[in-house]
Amino acid sequence: MDDNDTLAAVLSYLPPPAASATGSLSYSFPAADVASLNGEEEDRIGRLPDEILRNIVSRLPTKDAARTTVLSSRWRHLWASIPLALDDGAGGLAPAAATSALASHPGPVVSARLASSQDAEVVASVFASLASRDVEDLVVVINGSWPVEYRVPSEVLDCAALGRLWIGLSQFPDTSGVAPALLSLRELGIVHSSAQDRDLHAVIPRCPELETLALVLTQDHPRYLHIWSGSLRGVVIWKSMLREVHLDDAPNLDRLLVEPIADAATHIKIIKAPKLKILGYFDVGLHQLKIGNTVIKLETKIKPNAMVRTLRTLALKVQFGVEDQVKLMPTLLKCFPCLETLYIKSVPSEALVNAGIEFWDQVGFTECVYSHLKKCVLEAVRGEDNELAFAKFIMERAQMLEDLHVFVDGSCSKDFVLCRLSSEGCVSPDARVVVERQDGTVWGFQRAIDLFQSDPFGC
């Protein structure tokens, strides 16, 4: 991946620009209208009320918005009368341009989308000014490549009014000798950037309003993520190389969402998360789960202190052709006895073992399956015997089942699977079995970070 591709990937995860790079105040009049105009008539845009003109100017890139002050005496006050948005409508405004805008605008600053600069003094001045003007929304991204050397200045940690902070292709601020004062921060995103463990752990507990934390495409750092936060509701780990994620003390955490990446064997430890309702995608072949002091593995006897009774939605990635992964699934399900919704994404495996066919007949009582499971979704099904054996296990044991949804991939016949999984085989009289072609998935990053999504995996 070259530098342009890297930057494009990073920008795809960052919040979109507040301004439009193609914004324009020009208007192409029809020839008849032009011929009818005389020198005394005012242009059509100029006839609009100030409220609408302010709205138009607020959507322009910063440089274009500032230029409107020279149009006429009426336009002169408009830009200064709206909150300042530092944005070039693309990758980020250069700090030098931001300095000029800050010098000519009285503020406040509602948002800033900044690129990097080699002039440390200018950069520090910009961030200090943003802090003093109560910036609410800040995106920092550099137009460079990995590994990055640019470090976001520590002055950003003084932005007490900042509600959202996203950092892309940069190094997280150094917290040495700094007391972070991000008192209003609700959303923190780190995209393809480096954040030392100690810096991240110095900031998170000191953000009393933080609700969403997203780590995207991170590689070397952070290695370990410990969550001590009374306010966090959602943590998203997206294609990142974390070794461990510990929910040490997260009394309001509602969801831990993970999009696995190959070879990232992340250990997830749940210590104190009394409101955890949503977990996934947990890769049965890559991840390791520890609840309290119990490591969940084959043949582990699940005791009450190794159960998370609050969990309602679980998403797993499983290679049904790998015997150890198949045999670990019942143990995992016993950890979540009140589970109501289960997503299983079938992952192809090189060696196909048919251990799962008879195995599911021998699985004993599993509380969530027998007493609570209402919805089960199987994705990327190829019609293999191991996959269908699990589906039949759900159909024959889930007494509260309402919906079994099977999405087959292009290599599988929908009619073949439907024939094997007739709804008549369901123990629940209210269950329906639906088999459809897999045309795509609703699961994605934007859905994952949306706290209003009650079911981020949902179909």
Are the C-beta atoms of residues 297 and 328 closer than 8 Å to each other? yes
Lateral strand order in the sheet of 224-228:
224-228, 244-249, 267-270, 288-291, 294-296
- Measured CA to CA, the distance from residue 185 to residue 205 in angstroms comes to 11
Position 355 scores a pLDDT of 60
Side chain identity at residue 49, one-letter code = P
Q: In the numeric block, which tokens belong to residue 185?
A: 């921060």
Alpha helices in 296-349 (DSSP H): 323-334
- Measured CA to CA, the distance from residue 129 to residue 126 in angstroms comes to 5
Q: Which residue has the tokens 């933080």?
A: 210
Position 410 scores a pLDDT of 81
**Backbone angles phi and psi of 433, in degrees to 5:** -115, 125
- Taking CA atoms, 376 is separated from 77, 243, 387, 395, 439, in Å, by 59, 30, 13, 10, 18
| Contacts for 181 with CB less than 8 Å, ≥ 6 apart | 157, 158, 159, 160, 206
E strand spans, 59-198 = 84-86, 109-114, 137-141, 164-168, 187-191
Peptide bond into 150 cis (omega under 30): no
Position 96 scores a pLDDT of 83
DSSP H or E stretch at residue 383: none
Position 419 scores a pLDDT of 83
Are the C-beta atoms of residues 14 and 112 closer than 8 Å to each other? no
Burial of 64-100, coded b for 16+ CB within 10 Å and e otherwise, reads bbbebbeeeeebeebbeeebbbbbbbbbbbbbebbbe
Position 343 scores a pLDDT of 98
Please report, for the chain, the start and end positions of each structural domain, with discontinuous segments joined by +: 1-20+42-191, 292-459
Side chain identity at residue 383, one-letter code = G
Q: Which CATH class name applies to 292-459?
A: alpha beta
Burial of 387-406, coded b for 16+ CB within 10 Å and e otherwise, reads bbbbbbbbbbbbbbbebbbb
| Contacts for 442 with CB less than 8 Å, ≥ 6 apart | 457, 458, 459
Q: How many other β-carbons are positioned within 10 Å of the β-carbon of residue 237? A: 24
Are the C-beta atoms of residues 284 and 332 closer than 8 Å to each other? yes
Are the C-beta atoms of residues 159 and 131 closer than 8 Å to each other? yes
Position 245 scores a pLDDT of 97
Peptide bond into 16 cis (omega under 30): no
Position 263 scores a pLDDT of 79
Position 237 scores a pLDDT of 97
- Measured CA to CA, the distance from residue 441 to residue 170 in angstroms comes to 31
Low-confidence ranges of the chain (pLDDT < 50): 27-29, 31-41
Signed CA dihedral, 217, 221, 227, 229: sign only: negative
Q: How many other β-carbons are positioned within 10 Å of the β-carbon of residue 106? A: 9
- Measured CA to CA, the distance from residue 390 to residue 316 in angstroms comes to 13
Query: Quick check: helix, strand or coil at residue 327?
Result: helix
Are the C-beta atoms of residues 369 and 396 closer than 8 Å to each other? no
How distant is the alpha carbon of residue 143 from its chain centre?
Answer: 22
Pairing of strands 244-249, 255-259: unpaired
Residues 175-215: pLDDT tens digits?
998 888 899 999 999 999 999 999 999 999 999 999 999 99
Residue 387 DSSP symbol:
H
Beta bridge partners of 165: 138, 188
- Measured CA to CA, the distance from residue 328 to residue 442 in angstroms comes to 27
Q: In the numeric block, which tokens belong to residue 228?
A: 């001590």
Q: In the numeric block, which tokens belong to residue 60?
A: 């322009």
